[in-house]
């Protein structure tokens, strides 16, 4: 329904201006309206969603940002998960019930956009909508889109490879965008997603292989495969020397397959 509001003959910037920034548009108030119609205490839930949109994804970070005690916070998060507005993630190698390294993310991309760019800046939008659009939204859009690009890459792995579990992995200072496991055959796929205007080269691949050593899953037994996703493609050196252990997917190739 949200996507149908856009006129695809216009640019993205024009659509955001007309269909989201404009106070008379349906999408300008939609997330707040939905929460007020579904929940008895919408302000609490809105503060949680705003904290998530700002990057506070761990329960203690959310509690500190919102001032909501951990007990009630877990109840609010469960409700948002039931509404499918928020999802809980754990490292792909962890066990669902035992892991204490869970993070929470906004599940709906428009809600994430709205709570990052619209809700916290209402007074600024009232005074200078064009300035908000140009200096805040458009200038930050690549950073916002990079998170969604990771989700698209995860879906791409699900569609193109034979792995039973696909997700993200993190431990301490290390994070990997894509990790997929085939537990029957002891196979692991390890990948990185780059939403950058520069082509990806060997540096990223070497960094990824170093991080892969930190993934504590069937070390010494597993068969490793690597994959890189890039908005702007890859250097000729990387393409020429990728070999069987590494698959490369540019945004252009992924878009062509989706068509």
What architecture does CATH give domain 3-127? Orthogonal Bundle (1.10)
Measured distance CA(49)–CA(69) in Å, rounded = 16
- At 40 the pLDDT is 85
pLDDT at 98 over 80: no
Distances (CA, A) of 223 to 18, 217, 219: 50, 11, 9
Mean pLDDT of the chain: 92
pLDDT (tens digit per residue) in 35-47 = 999 898 899 999 9
Task: For residue 182, give every residue at least 6 positions away whose Cβ sits within 8 Å of its Cβ, in sequence order, or none.
Answer: 162, 163, 164, 188
DSSP 32-82: HHHHHHH-SSHHHHHHHHHHHHTT--SHHHHHHHH---HHHHHHHHHHHHH
pLDDT at 151 over 90: yes
Provide the whole-model pTM. 0.88
Residues in the chain: 259
* Least confident window among 47-56, 92-101, 141-150: 92-101
pLDDT at 99 over 80: no
Distances (CA, A) of 43 to 14, 85, 224: 30, 15, 46
Measured distance CA(21)–CA(191) in Å, rounded = 36
Beta bridge partners of 228: 192, 248
The 10 Å CB-count burial string (b at 16+, else e) for 82-95 is eeebbebbbbbbbe
DSSP character at residue 200: B
Average pLDDT over residues 85-97: 90
Helix axes 26-38, 42-53, angle to 10 degrees: 130
Q: Where are the domains of the chain?
A: 3-127, 149-258
CATH 3.40.1350.10 fits 149-258, yes or no: yes
């Amino acid at each position: 329904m949200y996507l149908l509001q856009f006129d695809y003959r216009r640019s993205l910037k024009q659509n955001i201006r007309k269909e989201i920034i404009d106070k008379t548009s349906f999408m300008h108030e939609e997330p707040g309206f939905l929460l007020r119609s579904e929940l008895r205490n919408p302000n609490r839930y809105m503060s949680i969603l705003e904290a998530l949109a700002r990057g506070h994804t761990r329960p203690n970070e959310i509690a500190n940002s919102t001032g909501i005690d951990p007990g009630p916070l877990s109840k609010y998060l469960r409700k948002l998960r039931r509404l499918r507005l928020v999802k809980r993630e754990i490292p792909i190698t962890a066990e669902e019930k035992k892991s204490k390294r869970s993070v929470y993310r906004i599940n709906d991309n428009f809600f994430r956009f709205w709570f990052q760019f619209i809700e916290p800046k209402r007074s600024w939008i009232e005074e200078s909508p064009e300035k908000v659009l140009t200096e805040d939204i458009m200038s930050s859009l690549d950073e916002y889109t990079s998170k969604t690009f990771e989700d698209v890459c995860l879906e791409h792995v699900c569609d193109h490879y034979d792995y039973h579990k696909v997700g993200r992995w993190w431990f301490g200072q290390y994070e990997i965008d894509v990790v997929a496991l085939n537990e029957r055959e002891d196979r692991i796929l390890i990948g990185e997603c780059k939403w950058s205007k520069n082509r990806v080269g060997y540096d990223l691949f070497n960094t990824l292989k170093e991080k892969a050593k930190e993934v504590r899953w069937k070390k010494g037994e597993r068969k490793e495969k690597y994959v890189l996703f890039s908005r702007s493609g890859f250097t000729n050196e990387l393409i020429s020397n990728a070999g069987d252990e590494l698959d490369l997917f540019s945004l252009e190739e992924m878009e062509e397959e989706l068509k």
